[in-house]
Structure 1
């Protein structure tokens, strides 16, 4: 700087004395002109929180690990995506979604990588590098030989796409905007520019291009953003926060702090100044001349790099407060230590010593450390004057080193970083769980992820063996799904099953199951599918991890009693809830076919996850009759009676017969002897009669209700020969 230039010039003209005088004058010029204490614009914490896109915005130089907003340097227009659902006799719905591609400049020096990314305060990318939405992403680290981004080159043309060499920037490709009001969200990035902590000396050397340095060990910073109106602004911000000062040394200005090598001097009292005052003096400013409290604002890594403030307070009079904004990442204890040291430094500066020394003391330059006879501690030279061959040094006390302080970062409200994991789906034809009568087959898709952060997946449907696929929208909210670990075995649909239990392994350990009393069960609580059986459970016992044991089972609900005891290890388990099921209405022509589902979420590979189920139309036909009873009549005939059921009115709220739910009441009765052919007849009441001849041999009776859309499952009664009938 100026001290270096004037030192060389003074030496050439006046030898050693001239060199000393030139160096001192240069130091005065540095201090009064280049580093004069006036209003400055250094790094401010709020400048790192808001993403900008203004032309001419300064891009910071990042050191260590920092969280920055960056500057949008390129973007496409919003890209509209149109999706049509329905068709084949169903209403058609057209939905629109929007994506954008853009680039964000992060650092004016190379970086090593990017960690987490926040969008509007929520995690867009986790610590493991997993994105929470589907998007293309590339990082250009800022090397001097990096090539233009291929997307920008394709959009702008090869010859018009800058490579932004020396600038680290990130490119997003087709980022979905639905969660951000269909606009590019405000993003912040966790950027790793160097390994380990960043030393202030290294920062000064780089931003000053060799003209700035630091003396001795300095407090290590986890990260720093060199951002401000000038190099001077950044350097003085570091100096203020570290309680240091600059000294001219050879070809550089050196940042000093604390004690060190010092020159011993003695006040010579050499003469008086032009106004007759003694050149040697001691002054102590009033107590309130120094701030009573000092706050240091910083970025706290323990708070996801959000702003933290540590405050130091001294005893005594005064009510003024001072604030230092340090655009650096440091923990709470380090910030507290710096705040207390800066306050002690300000308090120590109240006392000043003015020394009158012979001209030979010209070599003692501003910034040098001195010890003064009969004065404790070390002092630094803050100002130098030369008058009538007497050197006057204005000295300020150097505060002693303080022990490390302990502090808390306070309550941390970090954005949750939940792993998404791979999509897991359960696909099944939905039994008749609604109050109304179904008119078409309905396919249910329940989905979740192997990680707690899973939020959804796109669905494709095929009902022609995979020959063609159509969009089926997206999954609903994450469901509680898993696999059967221990099947419940046999049971009865008429009684609560207290003998058996069902063990399930849920998709991830964050899923939970709860208990329900009898009243809640009657209202439909804890309704679940185990294989093809619809059931309810009263108690859920956690077994550790993602495993649960279910007790108090209500089996075979809504006409699924035929599936009781058919489960095997690995069969699906799904807790049914309206907001966690994606329901797909299928055409009646799909009955008898297999429906296939393909799901693809953020955590899945390009092939996605497949599932499927046979379509039998189970919600379109009545449930099987129940309470079959055979009674021998006096004339030798046998009267068989049963109770019909309905696919509507399951709650039985009025206490009278359930609604029919069909166009008419009809039954198909099939009698099959132990040897011989089956005889069938249609009846119009829940009763049938067998002759004495029919009862002469063992036989079975199958009864199916005839519905508007097909036959119910059979209810079977085994009849012994009449002679064995009691």
Structure 2
């Protein structure tokens, strides 16, 4: 008796492989191409999301476009940088530390075309335009060619003789990446890799993985995939998730091995072939069987990567009615849109349901012409059948067949879910503004308050490094990174002047042009305004606004104003078009350290952002508004006899609220005022007073007349404070 069994090699491939050439060829295909010893499962989705650095970890073979993590194959120690800065007058200096590292990450064991976006700890590190959101020294991509050279940084670190070129392995080198955004450690990276241009066919993947044993031509009915990550202990492991999910079978013919869905059913197995005689005994021609309904899952979920969601993991579900409680999931490390994944789940569940039906036929020798793997129509039987096994024995042929599905599944509705997508905007150049602010709160300050506000015209701007220029040497002292982007712009239409700083200004309106369209302003109720809401700097005047109306893409109209806030009434009406506008949001302002500030000094700050080709510079004269006394109010001059009595009311840096019957606290070391009499820009007389009044007596008036002065005179009153002289209140008189 001679027996030849042509078995299915592809249980793990989702369909049979025809070994029509004979058992020897089948054995070669099984052990050398598809089923290597000690095979394991292919990659799960989690394998592509988690960065590793373990020796021996497998690096996937990528096709199409995929988002994958990698393995850290080389890294330096962290580089520590120290910086000492003052925490304020009378406070000890604070030492801050920053860290960077250089490292290499491998992500594909097949050559790639390019890397687009890169994520670090889930946040965008590199945009589609190739711009980095975090500062680094350099970035190099080694595409995995067989002729790629050594990386110069790795070679310099390890030595030329000890540095492999990693040919055939695609990897990226990050040089001096700043780690402050990532908890001062190397972040977990994922890469959007372009290994092939456009979608890729299943046959092309199989052809590459099998070293050419599988033909590159495939059944046109098989879908394409946007990307695929192959991995596992064997070629079968690498192909199984794809072929099973796509319902592909591996068949053999005269041309070789090919992947197909085999849905044509063109050949007909005639009923007359059934009823063979085995060992002189006629047997029944057809025997049918059907599996239990409970063995078919009621719910099947396909996990995949969705390009519409930045290649984040997605899940699409198919369900069937009827008995059973079994659920099954398929991890498909491929890039598919939601609709394709849903159709795949429906098709897979339909296939499992239909494949419950099996049939065994006993035929005469003419049935030898049907190759295992072929999809046939069987005369007298509904549907189509895949030939799973053909056995020649005693002048008869035993065929084993399994029912296959009835055709394509109509595209079902699918929803990818709300994507968690980070805006990929260019960083762009930095805009930097220095502002010498009045006291922002009721706290009494002991040092000037100068802030740096920075932002970019592009939505991707995040931060910049700040440096102060040394006055003498011209050297740069690092200050750290800027605060988050400030809401800033310029005055387009200034408000009117000559308004009261003590009342709401409903006559004026100011129009401002913000730096970019995603910067927003909002109105506030009066109660919130009186508690300090919506403070802004308009030129050098501090204002508050109760209403903000958007009148253009970046233009806003501000009304219901409070003017000259916190002692800046002297700047009312001084604005011109093009003057800076800054929303005084404390979280977006960087306070310059007190040890870098000196009243009267010219402060120069440089900012260097990721998108800046050269440093951006801003200058500001330090006036110390936050620590100088405010200008007195209610100044009046009353003539009595031959003398003038000048009175005024003192204001306080700690007296912003009106408390009836209580004097504002002095705050300064002592109460002292400077009075200057000025005529036509010429100083006539100067005096000091320890109280809020001064007498310009008859003798002094006579002496000034004798010096040639007469007519209208302006008296300027300034309070002398602990840190300097404040601004003046003025009153007119005549001599």
TM-score using structure 2 length = 0.88
- Aligned 8 A contact 1:674 1:698 in 2: no
Alignment match of 2:235 (pick from 228, 231, 235): 231
Count of aligned residue pairs for this structure pair: 701
Distance (whole Å) between structure 1 residues aligned to residue 378 and residue 679 of structure 2: 123
1:7-49 Cα distance to aligned partner (Å, 9 max, x none): xxxxxxxxxxxxx997243576478777689985123222212
2:574 aligned with 1:566:
yes
Residue matched to 1:472: 479
2:713 aligned with 1:715:
no
Residue matched to 1:11: none
Matched position secondary structure for 2:191: strand
Matched position secondary structure for 1:212: coil
- Listed as ranges, the matches of 1:227-626 within 5 Å are 227-250=231-254, 252-260=256-264, 262-267=266-271, 268-273=273-278, 277-402=283-408, 403-462=410-469, 464=471, 467-490=474-497, 491-586=499-594, 590-605=598-613, 607-626=614-633
**Structure 1 residue 222: deviation in Å?**
0.8
- Aligned 8 A contact 1:262 1:378 in 2: no
Distance (whole Å) between structure 2 residues aligned to residue 40 and residue 706 of structure 1: 84
- Aligned 8 A contact 2:470 2:477 in 1: no
Matched position secondary structure for 1:50: coil
2:200 aligned with 1:198:
yes
CA separation of 1:313 and 1:670: change in aligned 2, threshold 3 A: closer
2:717 aligned with 1:703:
yes
- Aligned 8 A contact 2:299 2:328 in 1: yes
Q: Which has the higher contact order (CA 8 A, sep 6+)?
A: 2
1:435-475 Cα distance to aligned partner (Å, 9 max, x none): 34443333221222323443322211135277233222332
Distance (whole Å) between structure 2 residues aligned to residue 316 and residue 588 of structure 1: 77
Residue matched to 2:95: 94
1:568-604 Cα distance to aligned partner (Å, 9 max, x none): 2221112223333222244698332211001122232
- Structure 1 window deviating more from structure 2 (172-181 vs 186-195): it is 172-181
Matched position secondary structure for 1:326: strand
- Structure 1 window deviating more from structure 2 (591-600 vs 40-49): it is 40-49
Matched position secondary structure for 1:713: strand
CA separation of 1:251 and 1:236: change in aligned 2, threshold 3 A: farther
- Structure 1 window deviating more from structure 2 (241-250 vs 173-182): it is 173-182
- Structure 1 window deviating more from structure 2 (466-475 vs 486-495): it is 466-475
CA separation of 1:680 and 1:320: change in aligned 2, threshold 3 A: closer
- Listed as ranges, the matches of 1:24-103 within 5 Å are 24-26=22-24, 29=27, 40-86=40-86, 91-103=92-104
Matched position secondary structure for 1:612: strand
Distance (whole Å) between structure 1 residues aligned to residue 360 and residue 437 of structure 2: 92
**Alpha carbon RMSD of aligned pairs, Å?**
2.9
Residue matched to 2:3: none
Distance (whole Å) between structure 1 residues aligned to residue 566 and residue 19 of structure 2: 101
Alignment match of 1:669 (pick from 672, 675, 694): 675
**Structure 1 residue 211: deviation in Å?**
0.9
1:520-556 Cα distance to aligned partner (Å, 9 max, x none): 2222222221111122222222223222111122222
Alignment match of 2:226 (pick from 218, 222, 226): 222
Matched position secondary structure for 1:678: strand
Matched position secondary structure for 2:504: coil
Residue matched to 2:10: none
Distance (whole Å) between structure 2 residues aligned to residue 323 and residue 159 of structure 1: 48
1:393-443 Cα distance to aligned partner (Å, 9 max, x none): 222233122222221112322344454333222102222334344433332
Alignment match of 1:181 (pick from 158, 179, 183): 183
Segments of 5+ residues of structure 2 without an aligned counterpart are 1-5, 7-17
CA separation of 1:610 and 1:245: change in aligned 2, threshold 3 A: same
Distance (whole Å) between structure 1 residues aligned to residue 407 and residue 483 of structure 2: 61
